[in-house]
């Protein structure tokens, strides 16, 4: 597997610099596969532990350390995905991927290497960290998820993906095709495309203002009639145990939240970039207490994901 490394950092050991420069890319890959930055960091730590457990002679025998690191990290992720469903069954309430502050540059990961997919099948770097994309990945089998992310996002050939998944290149091609069908199915019938980022930010800002004003009708006007809102408290923070469906039901739910928030001092809302898209972040007493990600189609909000589990908000800066 041939994967260009990121530019080397200055250091006294060029070999060490080359190995460590892969860390950011590996975290980006593992985050997309696992939906958890904490788990991604654990995977990369384990990958490097295995590298340094080898003798210098064995390390010298590896012609492309970046490819070795990717293969090992991918296989660790595949193992974790295999047991993730059982862990999610024990999770309290709905499980939402861990939200990321900022855009793709915050967790860069595109390698630019390998044999490119058909342009029509490619997933852009920005799209690959959107909450909508990460949520759809949760519906896939571990092998589908790995094949899609490594091939369509990271541009690895199916022969290279096969080394990680342990299947034939033809089987990996089928896995990626099945994963793409899941993405298409999740989008449902033809919907209006997402508006420009500036327009999305305006809609999120309008949602924030209507929410704070407890204006049910204004909120309904901003929501798709079939909108769905999902919240994740993980048993550690208050959250709706089930998705809320329908514009009016969601609007009344948020108005009720706003009324309760008035009784809490020091709570503020700010429009911020969440997983590369305009979102909302709630702060209280200098800490991030909630992050909302949105999926927007046309001029309406189609999906809202609210993360309140404090363990998933550790990477968010204080206000």
Give me the pLDDT at residue 10, please: 41
Report the greatest alpha carbon distance in the chain. 69
Strands 287-297 and 277-284 turn out to be: antiparallel
- Rounded Cα–Cα distance for residues 19 and 112 (Å): 18
Helix 37-53 with 65-89: angle, nearest 10 deg: 140
Give me the pLDDT at residue 137, please: 94
Contacts of residue 111, Cβ cutoff 8 Å, sequence gap at least 6: 3, 4, 25, 154, 155, 156
| Residue matched to tokens 């490619």 | 122
Q: Taking 50 as the threshold, does the pLDDT of residue 39 lie above it? A: yes
Write b or e for each residue in 63-86: b if 16 or more Cβ atoms lie within 10 A of its Cβ, otherwise e: eebbbbbbbbbbbbbbebbeebee
Domain(s) labelled CATH 3.10.450.50 in the chain stretch across 197-312
Q: Has domain 197-312 been given CATH number 3.10.450.50?
A: yes
Q: Taking 80 as the threshold, does the pLDDT of residue 237 lie above it? A: yes
- Rounded Cα–Cα distance for residues 319 and 314 (Å): 13
pTM, rounded to two decimals: 0.86
Better pLDDT: 92 or 266? 92
* DSSP SS3 for 252: helix
Write b or e for each residue in 113-141: b if 16 or more Cβ atoms lie within 10 A of its Cβ, otherwise e: bbeebeeeeebebebbbbbbbbbbbeebe
- Rounded Cα–Cα distance for residues 84 and 89 (Å): 9
User: What tens digit of pLDDT does each residue of 193-205 get?
Assistant: 889 999 999 999 9
Task: Please give the C-alpha separations between residue 71 and each of 64, 135, 158, 164, 206, in angstroms, as whole numbers.
Answer: 11, 24, 13, 6, 45
Contact present, 277 and 301 (Cβ < 8 Å): no
Q: How many CB atoms lie within 10 A of CB 39?
A: 18
Would you place residue 21 in the very low, low, confident or very high pLDDT band (cuts 50, 70, 90)?
Answer: confident
- Rounded Cα–Cα distance for residues 283 and 125 (Å): 28
User: What tens digit of pLDDT does each residue of 96-133 get?
Assistant: 999 999 866 555 544 444 444 444 445 666 788 999 99
Mean pLDDT for the chain overall:
87
């Amino acid at each position: 597997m041939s994967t260009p490394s990121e530019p080397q950092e200055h250091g006294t050991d060029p070999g060490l610099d080359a190995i460590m420069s892969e860390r950011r890319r590996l975290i980006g890959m593992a985050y997309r596969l696992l939906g958890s930055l904490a788990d991604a960091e654990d995977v990369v730590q384990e990958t490097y532990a295995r590298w340094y457990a080898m003798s210098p002679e064995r390390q010298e025998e590896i012609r492309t350390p970046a490819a070795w690191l990717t293969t090992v990290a991918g296989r660790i992720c595949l193992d974790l995905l295999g047991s993730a469903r059982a862990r999610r069954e024990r999770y309290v309430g709905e499980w939402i991927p861990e939200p990321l502050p900022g855009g793709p540059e915050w967790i860069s990961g595109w390698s630019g290497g390998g044999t490119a997919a058909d342009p029509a099948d490619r997933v852009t770097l920005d799209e690959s960290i959107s909450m909508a994309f990460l949520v759809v990945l949760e519906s896939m089998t571990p092998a589908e998820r790995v094949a899609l992310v490594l091939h369509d996002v990271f541009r690895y050939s199916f022969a290279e993906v096969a080394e990680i998944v342990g299947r034939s290149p033809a089987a990996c091609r089928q896995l990626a095709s099945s994963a793409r069908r899941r993405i298409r199915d999740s989008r449902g019938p033809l919907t209006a495309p997402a508006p420009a980022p500036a327009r999305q930010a305006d809609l999120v800002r309008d949602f924030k203002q209507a929410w704070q004003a407890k204006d049910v009708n204004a909120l309904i006007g901003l929501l798709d009639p079939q909108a769905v809102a999902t919240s994740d408290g993980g048993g550690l923070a208050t959250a709706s145990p089930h998705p809320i469906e329908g514009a009016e039901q969601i609007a009344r739910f948020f108005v009720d939240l706003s009324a309760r928030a008035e009784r809490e001092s020091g709570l503020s809302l700010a429009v911020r970039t969440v997983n590369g898209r305009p979102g909302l972040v709630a702060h209280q007493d200098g800490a991030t207490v909630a992050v909302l990600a949105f999926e927007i189609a046309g001029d309406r909000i189609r999906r809202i994901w609210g993360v309140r589990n404090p363990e998933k908000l550790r990477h968010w800066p204080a206000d």
